Amino acid sequence: MSLGYSPCPNDTFSFYALTHGKVPSGTVSFRETLNDVEALNRMAMRGTLDITKVSYHA
C-alpha cells in the first residue's frame, strides 16, 4: 500500500514502526512517499495514495 507522510520528525517517528516492519502487518507492505503537507493534501484530494496524512485549518 502507498503511504504518504511528511519528513518532519514527529511524522517520521510516528510511522517508523509501521514502515520498517516493527508492527505485524501480515502480507501488507508499505511504499513510503515523503512530501510536504501541501503536496500530501493535494495527493489526498486526487486519491493518489492509499493512506496519507493530511493537514487542515480548523
Q: pLDDT tens digits, residue range 5-56?
A: 999 999 999 999 999 999 998 999 999 999 999 999 999 999 999 999 999 8
Number of other CB atoms surrounding residue 38 within 10 Å: 10
Dihedral sign, Cα of residue 52, residue 36, residue 57, residue 42: negative
State the pLDDT at residue 52. Answer: 95
Alpha carbon 2 to its chain's center: 8
pTM metric for this prediction: 0.85
Q: How far is CA 23 from CA 7, 12, 32, 52, 53, in A?
A: 20, 15, 15, 18, 18
Distance (Å, whole) CA 56 – CA 13: 21
